[in-house]
Amino acid sequence: MTHTRQDTFDVAVIGAGMAGMAAALFAAERGLSCIQIGNGGGILFASGLLDLMSIHPLAERRKWGFPFDALAALALEQPQHPLARIDATSVRTAFNAFVAALGKAGLPYAPLGKANSDVLTSIGTIKPTYGVPRSMIAGVKALAQRPPCLFVDFHGLREFSARQIVSTLGDSWPAARFQRLQFPGTEAVPELYAAHLARALENVETRARTIDLVKPLLGDAQAIGFPALLGLEHSVEVHAAFEAGLGLPVFEIPTMPTSVPGLRLLMALEAAVATRGVSRRHHSTVDSIVFDDETATIGLIDSPGGERVVARTVVLATGRFMGRGLVADRGHVSESIIGLPVHQPTSRNEWHQRDFLDPTGHAINRAGLLIDDSWRPLDAAGNPAWPHLFAVGSILAHQDWMRSKCGSGLAIATAWAAVRQITRQLYGDCDKAGEP
């Protein structure tokens, strides 16, 4: 039997990656009734770092210390880029709101300033980023000052090597050293996983035993770097216990995906949207969407009774190829749910450069949906496909978020801009919550 919902939501968000989560969060904070459809598993691949913009233009590989300066240059040189269509004040507001919501959900970030921060990666390279979890911020200071520092890892943890970090840093950090330890209770376990260790460290006894293993190794160290596994739901408590027990600044280093920081981020976002009243169908996928003048009726599969959802507006936040928002056959890229036209190279031969590492990137990575000034995707004639349909995040055309290091910025800022347009469309110049 097929059931039809009697209530109508202000917003239906299709997708539960970073852009979908941000859109649902911002809609709920503006007082809009919202339902979110989709699984947020892609966030598990996140590092926990919130990139805004650090590389522009791609061909020159120019690195920017101040992301808003990079965005200003982008607006002048690539006005079709989604981030070039959003003013700096809105981007700041969106990031501040997003980070504040994460903090309330138990995942605090360092205060956002004007500059990017340099963060160590799991192989010892340096990554610029804008939003840094508080558990990693001592590493930013250590990287800038290069004091005597101890890097720690554990036997059997194959996704992280303190030795590799120290080797990669080489002469640039001569006072860095490493130590590999046996994690308590794993003597007979050949392979360890960060998520399991993070859960184990939420046990007070295991945490104390681990701290006791590290203490004799401190020497002249002025900071200590660990793989990012200091707790899951209680990571703030675990991190604080390590700093108190060792008497030194402790910082986490992002691990290879799937990662504990990604799991923390997913858990925090799920908690944030749930506490704000967002209805979620995280085990469902969209089978069909039927549009009429005022509402869209969304058919779900993998939902009891073949549920149908009615919404006044729809936000498409389905991502690119990994999220299956875009799909490709041997010669063409398609949008997977509605069949919207995709801006793409005219020939398959133009999808990729001959050199895989070409600094200009590959044209296929800039394929996506074209939008109007209100973030509504366009049909083949260049008109809004439906007046109340919006698109956000990496499904949008004219951006290469991975090479520009702007993935989180793209998701958060476009979600903010689209939800603002939705609020104006539904309720006029001011939103339901009273924000201008």
State the CB neighbour count (10 A cutoff) for residue 432.
Answer: 14
pLDDT value at residue 3: 45
- What angle separates helix 88-104 from helix 18-29, to the nearest 10 degrees? 90
H helices of 149-203, where? 162-169, 194-200
Whole-number CA gyration radius for the chain: 23
Q: Which amino acid is at 188?
A: A
- How far are the Cα atoms of 14, 108, 148, 329, 334 from residue 324, in angstroms, in the given order? 12, 31, 46, 13, 10
Smallest CA-to-CA distance from 163 within 147, 179, 175 is with 179
Residue-by-residue pLDDT tens, the chain, 436 positions: 344 444 799 999 999 999 999 999 999 999 999 999 998 788 988 999 999 999 999 888 899 999 999 999 999 999 999 999 999 999 999 999 999 999 999 999 999 999 999 999 999 999 999 999 999 999 999 999 999 999 999 999 988 999 999 999 999 999 999 999 999 999 999 999 999 999 999 999 999 999 999 999 999 999 999 999 999 999 999 999 999 999 999 999 999 888 999 999 999 999 999 999 999 998 888 988 999 999 999 999 876 567 889 999 999 999 998 888 899 988 899 999 999 999 998 888 878 888 887 777 887 889 999 999 999 999 999 999 999 999 999 999 999 988 899 999 999 999 999 999 999 999 986 556 555 4
pLDDT value at residue 264: 97
Burial classification of residue 203, based on how many CB atoms lie within 10 Å of its CB (0-12 exposed, 13-18 middle, 19 or more buried): middle
Residues paired with 299 in a beta bridge: 288, 308
Q: Tell me the C-alpha distance between 146 and 177, whole Å.
A: 12
Q: b vs e for 59-68, b when ≥16 Cβ sit within 10 Å of the residue's Cβ?
A: eeeeebebbb
**What is the CATH T-level fold of the domain 4-105+264-325+343-367+378-427, as seen in this structure?**
FAD/NAD(P)-binding domain (3.50.50)
Q: Are 12 and 281 in contact (CB under 8 A)?
A: no
Q: Is the peptide bond before 304 cis (omega within 30 degrees of 0)?
A: no
pLDDT value at residue 362: 85
One of 3.40.50.10700, 3.20.20.70, 3.40.190.10, 3.40.50.300 is the CATH number of 122-253, namely 3.40.50.10700
> Domain residue spans in the chain?
4-105+264-325+343-367+378-427, 122-253
Q: Are 392 and 415 in contact (CB under 8 A)?
A: yes
pLDDT value at residue 348: 85
Q: Are 201 and 227 in contact (CB under 8 A)?
A: no
The answer to whether the 4-105+264-325+343-367+378-427 and 122-253 domains have the same CATH topology is no
Q: Tell me the C-alpha distance between 21 and 123, whole Å.
A: 29
Q: Tell me the C-alpha distance between 133 and 136, whole Å.
A: 5
Q: Indicate if the alpha-carbon torsion angle 239, 195, 408, 226 is positive or negative.
A: positive
Q: 304: which 2 tokens?
A: 């009891």
Q: Parallel, antiparallel, or unpaired for β 333-335 and 326-328?
A: antiparallel
pLDDT value at residue 430: 58
